[in-house]
Amino acid sequence: TEAAQTAHDARTPEEIAGARDLFSKFDGLIAERQALLDTGVRDPFAIVMDEVKSPTLAIIKGKETILLGTYNYMGMTFDADVVQAGKDALDAFGAGTTGSRVLNGTYQGHRDVEDALKDFFGTDHAMVFSTGYQANLGMISTLAGKGDYVVIDADSHASIYDGCFLGDAEVVRFRHNSVEDLDKRLGRLPKEAQKLVVLEGVYSMLGDIAPLPEMVAAVRKHPNCMILCDEAHGMGFFGEHGRGVFEEQGMEGEIDFIVGTFSKSVGTVGGFCVSNHPKFNVLRLVCRPYVFTASLPPSVVATAATSIRKLMHAQDKRAHLWENSRKLHGGLKALGFTLGSDTPQSAIIAVILTDQAQAVAMWQALLELGLYVNMARPPATPAGMFLLRCSLCAEHSAAQVDQILEMFEAAGKATGAIA
């Protein structure tokens, strides 16, 4: 075996790596990262939360830090009912299911959370995956097969791209949020072919939203199209019931499949798809990312179900989150920062910086002042942008948003990002 061989091998690990090096393709990235770290900055991708005090506060390297990069939009991670439901399920059902949903891994709690999703979205069917990433992998690769087409926005999330790679369908991209380009590309496809159009309510890098009514109208001009909308960043926050951007824009009944995650507004981990399609449940037998992986732990599905049911009635929190978004967007714009969208469109506000050095300097300056935001860089970002991505929480107080703006002003001036 390999282990036995290396035990007798006198060569160093470096010499062995040199002899058969599948890692050589990463040499450029390793060198670039090392050059950055050699300048003395903290590694933006190696932050450790030593203690988490609330949805908006953590201790990082001994310093109390405001969290502004967690996607914890509704602050449900510390909701007392949610936490209690998790504890009860842990006691009653144990730490994990050790099995696939289609074998020993469906407990009462998995049914409960699917019922909660059906009630939340008002749909006939709901299917829970172990992550949102897997929900996109599974739905896209299973729905669109050989001879079919998947039509996606160029700025789609990685899980949507990976769902396309996993499947056998032909992939067609259209310009980000361009109704005209979507229409044009659909027009070029064979009329008789089946097509899946994949949209996102909120695009997570720049925080802009999709013009769903216009997109849906463009799709309806072409035959044999179904629409899937990823509401990962819309659920909880948009629409009267918090269903997502599609609800806010009056598009209920127009979207065939809503995909989402438990890792943002819901406050735990997991993914799902809801739909009214009468044959939906056959997916439980044929969707590989659903079948060939273990189901979520009982504590997780219990927290998710409790959180989802509370989110149905969270209008006050939604209103406060909108206030926070407007206040932060307006304040950052007034300070002179370049933002990902002209107006506050979601709970994500992206600050666009000129290059990696400026982005990292600014990110570190904020961290030293006691503010954590996400650093986002290519390939995650569109058009090679370097972003500091802020995601607001309904639990951020108005005073915290003021404090955040003061920190941005100080860090921006210290690093030269603003005048």
Secondary structure element (H or E) that encloses residue 369, with its range: helix 356-369
Q: Write the interaction track for ligand PMP spanning residues 164-203; mark x where CB under 6 A is met and - where it is not.
A: ------------------------------------x---
Q: How far apart are CA 77 and CA 71, in angstroms?
A: 11
Is 389 an interacting residue with respect to ligand PMP (CB under 6 A)?
Answer: no
Minimum CB separation of residue 205 from ligand PMP in Å reads 9
Please identify the residue of the shown chain whose CB is closest to the bound ligand PMP: 132
Site for ligand PMP (CB under 6 A): which residue of 73, 107, 120, 133? 133
**Over 266-331, what HEC string results?**
CCCCCEEEEECCCCHHHHHHHCHHHHCCECCCHHHHHHHHHHHHHHCCCHHHHHHHHHHHHHHHHH
Determine if 159 is a binding residue for ligand PMP (CB under 6 A): yes
Query: Using the rule CB under 6 A, is 142 a contact of ligand PMP?
Result: no
The CA distances from residue 136 to 79, 164, 251, 252, 259, in Å, are 28, 9, 20, 20, 7
How many whole angstroms separate alpha carbon 262 and alpha carbon 305? 10
Taking CB under 6 A as the rule, does residue 73 contact ligand PMP? no
Smaller CB separation from ligand PMP, 289 or 331: 289
Q: Is 360 in the site for ligand PMP (CB under 6 A)?
A: no
CB 403 within 8 A of CB 66: yes
- In the shown chain, the binding pattern of residues 2 to 41 toward ligand PMP, with x for contact by CB under 6 A and - for none, equals ----------------------------------------
Q: Which two tokens stand for residue 248?
A: 């806010």
Residue 263 lies near ligand PMP (rule: CB under 6 A): yes
157 binds ligand PMP (CB under 6 A): yes
310 neighbors 79 (Cβ within 8 angstroms): yes
Q: Which is nearer to ligand PMP, 156 or 249 (CB)?
A: 156
Cα 335–chain centre separation = 28
Residue 123 makes contact with ligand PMP by CB under 6 A: no
Amino acid residing at 32: E
Interface segment toward ligand PMP; rule CB under 6 A; list 23-31, 131-139, 239-247, 359-367: 131-139
Q: Counting contacts by CB under 6 A, is residue 317 touching ligand PMP?
A: no
**Does 141 engage in binding with ligand PMP (CB under 6 A)?**
no
3-state helix, strand, coil in the chain (%, to 5): 45, 20, 40
Nearer to ligand PMP, 271 or 298 (CB): 271
Q: With binding defined as CB under 6 A, does residue 400 bind ligand PMP?
A: no
Q: Which stretch binds ligand PMP (CB under 6 A): 7-15, 128-136, 173-181, 369-377?
A: 128-136
The nearest distance, CB 308 to ligand PMP, in angstroms, is 14
Site string for ligand PMP, 269-288 (x = CB under 6 A): --x-----------------
Does the footprint of ligand PMP cover residue 132 (CB under 6 A)? yes
The span from the CA of 138 to the CA of 126, in Å, is 14
Q: Report the residue from 141, 261, 265, 345 that binds ligand PMP according to the rule CB under 6 A.
A: 261
202: number of CA atoms within 13 Å, CB side? 32
Residue 133 or residue 386: which is nearer to ligand PMP going by CB?
133
* Cβ neighbours for 376, distance < 8 A, ≥ 6 positions apart: 205, 350, 385, 386, 387, 388, 389
CB 261 within 8 A of CB 132: yes
C-alpha distances (whole Å) from 233 to each of 152, 197, 335 are 17, 18, 26
Distance in Å, CB of 131 to ligand PMP, minimum: 4
Q: Does 208 bind ligand PMP (CB under 6 A)?
A: no
CA 405 from chain centre, in angstroms, equals 25
Check binding of 320 to ligand PMP (CB under 6 A): no
Phi, psi of 295 (to 5 degrees): -75, 165
Residues that bind ligand PMP (CB under 6 A): 131-133, 136, 157, 159, 200, 204, 230, 232, 261, 263, 271
